[in-house]
């Protein structure tokens, strides 16, 4: 639904942008904050040797009542946010994604592959607990997700299964 720069990409070439994407039923604050209080994007921003990289957070609607706001809708929103906020101007984009955030990042990469290759953009992907073949929890909760019309929960249960 929207993205936020924690630190905009450097005007230097080559430029690097790290994009954080949270998981289902979460948000950036809950996803990337350690119980010690450390916030991953801020830790990265405060690390002096990495002072030239851009740090960006993408957030999307994923509450229990997000209903028909589908995975496809989230990927479209990510695409638009990355364009509008000029993240796509980076020579390298590194996605740091948790759970369903990894599915979103991978779908974005597959859908935008032609444009990314044409621009010569290098892509990195760091996945944290992101399912590649569905999720047993999501499979277990699939009937509830279907009953509630929660399309993201249903999609998480059937990742790469059709």
CB 119 within 8 A of CB 88: yes
Instruction: Give per-residue burial for 131-145: e unless 16+ CB within 10 Å, then b.
Output: beebbeebeebbeeb
pTM above 0.85, yes or no: no
Percent of the chain scoring above 90 in pLDDT: 61
Tens of pLDDT, residues 39-62: 999 999 999 999 999 999 999 988
Pairing type for strands 92-98 and 16-21 reads parallel
CA-CA-CA-CA torsion sign (69, 75, 77, 78): positive
Residue 155 predicted with pLDDT over 60: no
All structural domains of the chain, each given as residue ranges with its CATH number in brackets, are 2-132 (3.40.50.1820)
Tens of pLDDT, residues 60-116: 988 666 666 688 999 999 999 999 999 999 999 999 999 889 999 999 999 999 999
CA 121 to chain centre: 17
Tokens of 26: 């979460």
């Amino acid at each position: 639904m929207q993205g936020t720069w924690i630190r905009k990409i450097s005007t230097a070439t080559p430029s690097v942008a790290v994009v954080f994407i949270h998981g289902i039923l979460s948000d950036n604050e809950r996803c990337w904050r350690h119980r010690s209080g450390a916030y991953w994007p801020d830790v990265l921003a405060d690390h002096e040797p990495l002072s030239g990289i851009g740090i960006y957070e993408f957030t999307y609607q994923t509450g229990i009542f997000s209903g028909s706001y589908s995975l496809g809708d989230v990927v479209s929103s990510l695409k638009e946010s990355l364009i509008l906020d000029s993240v796509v101007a980076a020579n390298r984009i590194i996605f740091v994604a948790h759970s369903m955030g990894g599915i979103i990042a991978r779908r974005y990469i597959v859908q935008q592959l032609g444009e990314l290759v044409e621009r010569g953009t290098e892509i990195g992907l760091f996945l944290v607990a992101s399912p590649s073949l569905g999720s047993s929890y999501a499979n277990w909760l699939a009937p509830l997700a279907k009953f509630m019309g929660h399309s993201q929960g249903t999609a998480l249960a059937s990742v790469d299964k059709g």
